Amino acid sequence: MSTPRAHPRRSGGGRSSSSIPRRMCAPHVRGWSRDGALSAAVFSMVNRHNETGLWYSLDNVSAGMLRPFVDWFGVEAAEQRRPPSVHACGERLAVRALGCTATTTGLHYPSTMCQLRFHQPRLCAVTLRWPRHHELSVSVPFCEPGSSGADADELPRVHVSACAPFFLNPNEGAAREATRRVQRWTEFMAASQVGRVHLHVLNRAAEVRPALLRDRRAALAASGALRVHFWDYFEEAHAVLAPASQFVRHHNRTWEAGYANPYHPYNLLYTKCLHEETASTEWMLIIDVDEYWKAVPRPPQPQLTISRFLELAPPELQRHHFCVLNERCMREWDGSVRPKSAVRIGGGVCTWLGGGHFSMPATKGQPDACRPQWSRTPGDWRAVTEACAAAARAPPAPFAKLPHYFSHYGERVGTGGGARCGGFEDDAAEWYAHG
């Protein structure tokens, strides 16, 4: 494929690039092919020092709903051979295709996710075009400084930020319970544990916004400790969630019944956090809103916040895997364990692909420090979970060698399990704040 020539002098009147990162305003911008078989969404775009980095997803919507591609690797290989053309300020720009997720990691993802980089000295809106996909195109503007967009202005730098997804399903009882949980969780995390929380609300923004951004949480948002990003992802993708979607597993074939998998966009928002916030935070923690940091004050171990824990990490460490223990009422461990990672994004050493439990290097050929700590396989779930379980069970006392971990709330939304916890949910944040 011939490489188009960029013409930086004929920039079409956009404002100048600068050292200050400029992001896209909307959480994502979606386009559709003329035949309705494919949809593309740009979900992250940042310009700094005349260079723009962009992530997009390509989705199979051939049956009128979001569903996985049958051949992940074939679709990605075609994207890498013929990436979309990029246009800005009236010019076609030279593009570097940096690879797609499954090809890079060897893992499968619901969406085909690929990243591009291109020289762009003037900040005009960026348009991606896929001529081979029936006139599919997406046009994405940058945020104007001083505009009302949540990402228009640069945030004060903090040491640790947290990135979490949230959605509501059609079961109104479950939706009310989920809303109460996210209200408590955001207060706990943003007020006491990390410098900033990025909460990504995937649907039903009109309902979630007034319920979430009031009282103490409104003050946290005003201070910059809480940033809420409203996607309306499922609405824009014409996707419908099942009434029991909170019980759906990532690999569940919900599309066979006409429903979208609620976890379909999770990797998009995780990667958005890791790509767009490099100037605003040193570490980014990927987490869920039913997980609480638990610091057991066993002298001489201090009771540390998440931020303080990562402040003490050696400067060469680029990723830390936390242990997440599933606990009934957040007190009784049921024996199940999962990992959760925080990655260093502020130093420019690694570029990351966000994952719910493992964040992976986004491109091949990165330094050894970017590789998984347990590197027998990509992510190596088993090695991490075995190490966590062994530490949790180690004598002389339970958790003696695991004084800091995340407690996963084992009572799922909609099960009524919270009622069996003796009102624990009502004072969860206070209880954890004091051990």
For 376-387, write each residue's pLDDT tens digit: 455 577 888 888
Delimit the domains of the chain by residue range: 15-140, 158-433
Helix, strand, coil: what percent of the chain each, to 5?
25, 30, 45
Name the residue with higher pLDDT: 192 or 15.
Answer: 192
Cβ contact 61:38 at 8 Å: yes
* In 176-318, beta strands by DSSP E: 196-201, 226-230, 281-286, 291-295
- Is-above-0.75 flag for pTM? yes
For 388-411, write each residue's pLDDT tens digit: 999 888 887 667 778 889 999 877
| pLDDT value of residue 18 | 67
Choice between 65 and 196, residue whose per-residue pLDDT is larger: 196
150 three-class SS? coil
For residue 371, what pLDDT band results from cuts at 50, 70 and 90? confident
Q: Are 122 and 191 in contact (CB under 8 A)?
A: no
Q: Provide the pLDDT for residue 65.
A: 78
What percent of the chain has a predicted confidence (pLDDT) above 90?
52
Q: Mean per-residue pLDDT for 175-190?
A: 92
**Average model confidence (pLDDT) across the chain:** 85
Instruction: Please state the rounded mean pLDDT for residues 133-146.
Output: 85
Reply yes or no on whether the pLDDT at 431 is more than 50: no
| pLDDT, greater one: 279 or 258 | 279
Confidence class for position 292, pLDDT limits 50, 70, 90: very high
Q: How high is the pLDDT of residue 276?
A: 95
Residue of 49, 33, 52 whose CA lies nearest to 41: 33
332-344 vs 319-328, strand pairing mode: antiparallel
Length of the chain: 435
Identify the pLDDT of residue 110: 86
Residue 167 has pLDDT above 80, yes or no: yes
User: Does CATH number 2.60.40 belong to domain 15-140?
Assistant: yes
pLDDT in the model for residue 6? 37
Q: How far apart are CA 255 and CA 36, in angstroms?
A: 17
Check residue 413 and give its pLDDT: 82
Residue 295: exposed, middle, or buried by beta-carbon count in 10 A (0-12, 13-18, 19+)? buried
Give the pLDDT score at 427.
46
For residue 193, which phi and psi values (nearest 5 degrees)?
Answer: -115, -40
The least confident of 69-83, 117-131, 134-148, 158-172 is 134-148
Task: Look up residue 62 and give its two tokens.
Answer: 């051939």
| Token pair for 333 | 């461990």
Q: Mind listing the pLDDT tens digit for each residue in 412-421? A: 787 766 666 7
Q: pLDDT digit string (tens) for 239-260?
A: 899 888 877 766 667 766 788 8
The C-alpha atoms of residue 312 and residue 98 are separated, in whole angstroms, by: 33
Confidence grade of residue 347 (pLDDT, cut at 50, 70, 90): confident
pLDDT given for residue 1 in this prediction? 38
Alpha carbon 127 to chain centroid, angstroms:
24
Mean pLDDT over 167-182 rounds to 92
pLDDT at residue 313 in the model: 92
Model confidence at 129, in pLDDT bands (50, 70, 90)?
very high
Grouping H, G, I as helix, E, B as strand and the rest as coil, residue 27 is coil
